[in-house]
C-alpha cells in the first residue's frame, strides 16, 4: 500500500507545475484596450526614431543636401526654429484633442450609458491621434537637443556645428502627418458619438462573440454526474467580475488528476471574497488541497469591469442599457430603442440558427473534465427579453417593433424547447403591452403576435384581438 502511494505521488505532483497564463493574457488585453498604452508605445518609438535619425545624419557630410534649401534648414538656427515650432504646435494640438475626447466621453456617458466609456477608451482612432501628437513632440525635443552640437576634431568655437538634416526633414514629415491625423480626428469624433454608429459597433461585436461562442450544429449535452458531497470547493480570494476563464488549463488539470471540475459561475458574473468558483471531484488529494486550489484559481482572471472578450452577454447588456435609457420618461426617444431592438433581434436570430453552448469540455480521450454554466437559446432569450420588456411595453412604437422583430426570430427557431421559450415571450409581450395600447394598436400587436406564433410551427395558439 505504501509503495503504491509513493509511486503515484510524483505523477500527482506533476500537476502542481501546471500554471495558467490567463492573468498575463488579461493584462495584455487590458493594456491593448487602455487609452495610454498605444500612445506610450508610439512615444517610445519616436524617441528611438530620433536617435536613429541623428545617428544617420552623423554618417553623412554636412552639405549632402546641396542646393535643396527649400526642404532643409539653412543652419543651426533654422533647424532649431523648425523643431521648436513643430514641437510647440504638436503638444498644443495634443491638448486640444484630449479636451475634445474628454468632452465626447462625458457626452456619451450622460446621453447613452456610463458603461460605454470602455468602448470610447478602447477606440483606436483616439489612441492613435493622441499618440501621433505626443510622439512628434518628443521626437522634436530629442532632435532639438542635438542641434549645434560640436562635431569634428576640435571643440568650442573651432568645432563645426551639427545640423541634423534628415532628422529635421522627418520632423517636417511628422508635422504634415499631424495635420492629416487632426483632420481625421475632427471627422472621427462626431462619427464615434453618433448613436446609430455606437449601436452598430456594439451589435457587430455581439454577433462576432455569438459566432465564436455558440457552435454551428445542434448537439445534445453529455449527462454529467452529480457533484459529490465531498467535492473540493475552491473559493475566490478576491472580489470582482470574472473576465476570463482558462478552460484549457482546467481541462488539462482535471485530466492529470483524473477529476471532474464544476464551475458554478460564468464569465461576466460577480463573485465576492469566499464565493465558491469551482468544485473539484477528485480522490486522494486531501493533503494537497491548497496546491490544487491555487492551480484552479490561476485559471480565473477577475477585475473591476465586465469585458466583452469572454462575456458574451456584455454587448447585449450595453444595447439593453441604451434602449432602456432611451425609453425612460426623461429621454423619451423610441427610435434609439428601435435601433437597439433591431440589433438584439439580429442577435436572437443568430443564436436561433446555432446550437447551444452546454459549457462542457472534454480531454483528448473524450472524457468529460469540465462542466460550466450552459448558455442556451432559452437562457439568452430570457436574459434579453425579460429585461427589455418592462420598458418596451409602455411605448407604442417600441412594443410593435419588438413584436415585428420576434416574427423574424420565430422563422429561425427549430427545436420544441426553443419554440416554447419564444412563445412564452410573445404571449408575455402581448399581455403586458395591451393595456398601454389603443384598440387599433392592440389589433396590430395581436396580428404580429399571431404571425410569430404561426411561424413557430405545429402548435399555433389562437388569439383574440
Provide the greatest CA pair distance for the chain.
Answer: 103
Q: How many domains does the structure of the chain reveal?
A: 3
Mark whether 99 and 226 lie in a shared domain.
Answer: no
pLDDT of 73: 57
Q: In what order do the strands lie in the sheet with 276-281?
A: 232-235, 276-281, 260-262, 368-371, 360-362
Mark whether 176 and 80 lie in a shared domain.
Answer: yes
Assess if residue 461 is contained within a domain: no
Burial of 418 (0-12, 13-18, 19+ CB in 10 A): buried
pLDDT of 115: 75
pLDDT of 271: 94
Convert the pLDDT of each residue in 220-232 to its tens digit.
777 777 888 888 8
Mark whether 103 and 248 lie in a shared domain.
Answer: no
DSSP state of 357: B
pLDDT of 397: 94
CATH number of the domain within which 288 lies: 3.90.1170.30
Mark whether 263 and 175 lie in a shared domain.
Answer: no
Assess if residue 464 is contained within a domain: no
Mean predicted confidence (pLDDT) in 325-352: 93
Mark whether 350 and 421 lie in a shared domain.
Answer: yes
Assess if residue 463 is contained within a domain: no
Mark whether 39 and 150 lie in a shared domain.
Answer: yes
pLDDT of 17: 52
Assess if residue 363 is contained within a domain: no
Query: Can you give the three-state secondary structure of 362-402, one letter per residue?
Result: ECCCCCEEEECCCECHHHHHHHHHHHHHHHHCCCHHHHHHH
Mark whether 40 and 126 lie in a shared domain.
Answer: yes
Mark whether 320 and 442 lie in a shared domain.
Answer: yes
Mark whether 68 and 172 lie in a shared domain.
Answer: yes
Mark whether 177 and 156 lie in a shared domain.
Answer: yes
Domain boundary among 260, 286, 303: 303
Convert the pLDDT of each residue in 156-171 to its tens digit.
455 567 788 889 899 9
Assess if residue 450 is contained within a domain: yes
pLDDT of 74: 61
Assess if residue 369 is contained within a domain: no
Mark whether 282 and 296 lie in a shared domain.
Answer: yes
Provide the terminal-to-terminal Cα distance of the chain, rounded to the nearest Å.
77
The set of residues, in sequence order, having a beta carbon less than 8 Å from that of 376 and lying 6+ positions away, is 356, 357, 358
Most confident of 43-47, 57-61, 305-309, 433-437: 43-47
Convert the pLDDT of each residue in 357-388 to its tens digit.
888 899 888 889 999 988 999 999 999 999 99
Convert the pLDDT of each residue in 232-250 to its tens digit.
899 999 999 999 999 999 9
- Asked if 151 contacts 105 with a C-beta cutoff of 8 angstroms, the reply is no
Assess if residue 201 is contained within a domain: no
Mark whether 176 and 319 lie in a shared domain.
Answer: no
DSSP state of 302: E
Assess if residue 460 is contained within a domain: no
What domain range is 236 assigned to? 2-24+221-303
Specify the range with the lowest mean pLDDT, choosing from 117-121, 183-187, 376-380.
Answer: 117-121
Amino acid at each position: 500500500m505504501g509503495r503504491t502511494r509513493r509511486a503515484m505521488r510524483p505523477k500527482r505532483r506533476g500537476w502542481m507545475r501546471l500554471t495558467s497564463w490567463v492573468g498575463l493574457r488579461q493584462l495584455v488585453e487590458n493594456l491593448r484596450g487602455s487609452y495610454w498604452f498605444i500612445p506610450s508605445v508610439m512615444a517610445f518609438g519616436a524617441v528611438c526614431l530620433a536617435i536613429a535619425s541623428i545617428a544617420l545624419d552623423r554618417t553623412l557630410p554636412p552639405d549632402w543636401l546641396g542646393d535643396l534649401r527649400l526642404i532643409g534648414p539653412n543652419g543651426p538656427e533654422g533647424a532649431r526654429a523648425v523643431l521648436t515650432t513643430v514641437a510647440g504646435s504638436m503638444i498644443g494640438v495634443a491638448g486640444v484633442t484630449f479636451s475634445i475626447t474628454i468632452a465626447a466621453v462625458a457626452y456619451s456617458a450622460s446621453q447613452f450609458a456610463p458603461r460605454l466609456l470602455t468602448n470610447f477608451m478602447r477606440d483606436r482612432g483616439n489612441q492613435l491621434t493622441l499618440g501621433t501628437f505626443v510622439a512628434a513632440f518628443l521626437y522634436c525635443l530629442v532632435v532639438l537637443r542635438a542641434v549645434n552640437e560640436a562635431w569634428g576634431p576640435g571643440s568650442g568655437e573651432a568645432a563645426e556645428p551639427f545640423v541634423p538634416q534628415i532628422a529635421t526633414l522627418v520632423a517636417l514629415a511628422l508635422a504634415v502627418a499631424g495635420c492629416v491625423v487632426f483632420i481625421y480626428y475632427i471627422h472621427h469624433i462626431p462619427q464615434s458619438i453618433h448613436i446609430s454608429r455606437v449601436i452598430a459597433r456594439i451589435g457587430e461585436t455581439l454577433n462576432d462573440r455569438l459566432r465564436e461562442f455558440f457552435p454551428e450544429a445542434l448537439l445534445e449535452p453529455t449527462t454529467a454526474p452529480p457533484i459529490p458531497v465531498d467535492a473540493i470547493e475552491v473559493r475566490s480570494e478576491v472580489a470582482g467580475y470574472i473576465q476570463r476563464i482558462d478552460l484549457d488549463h482546467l481541462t488539462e488539470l482535471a485530466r492529470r488528476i483524473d477529476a471532474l471540475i464544476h464551475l458554478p459561475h460564468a464569465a461576466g458574473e460577480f463573485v465576492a471574497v469566499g464565493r465558491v468558483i469551482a468544485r473539484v471531484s477528485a480522490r486522494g488529494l486531501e493533503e494537497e488541497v491548497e496546491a490544487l486550489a491555487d492551480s484552479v484559481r490561476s485559471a480565473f482572471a477577475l477585475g473591476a469591469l465586465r469585458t466583452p472578450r469572454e462575456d458574451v452577454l456584455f454587448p447585449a447588456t450595453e444595447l439593453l442599457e441604451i434602449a432602456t435609457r432611451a425609453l425612460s420618461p426623461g429621454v423619451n426617444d423610441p427610435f434609439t430603442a428601435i435601433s437597439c431592438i433591431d440589433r438584439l433581434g439580429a442577435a436572437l436570430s443568430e443564436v436561433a440558427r446555432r446550437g447551444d453552448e452546454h459549457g462542457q469540455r472534454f480531454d483528448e480521450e473524450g472524457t468529460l473534465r469540465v462542466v460550466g454554466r450552459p448558455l442556451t437559446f432559452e437562457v439568452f432569450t430570457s436574459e434579453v427579453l425579460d429585461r427589455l420588456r418592462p420598458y418596451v411595453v409602455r411605448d407604442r412604437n417600441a412594443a410593435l417593433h419588438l413584436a415585428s422583430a420576434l416574427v423574424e426570430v420565430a422563422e429561425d427557431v427549430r427545436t420544441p424547447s426553443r419554440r416554447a421559450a419564444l412563445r412564452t415571450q410573445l404571449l408575455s409581450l402581448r399581455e403586458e403591452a395591451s393595456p398601454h395600447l389603443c384598440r387599433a394598436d392592440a389589433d396590430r400587436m395581436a396580428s404580429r403576435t399571431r404571425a410569430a406564433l404561426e411561424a413557430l410551427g405545429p402548435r399555433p395558439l389562437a388569439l383574440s384581438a
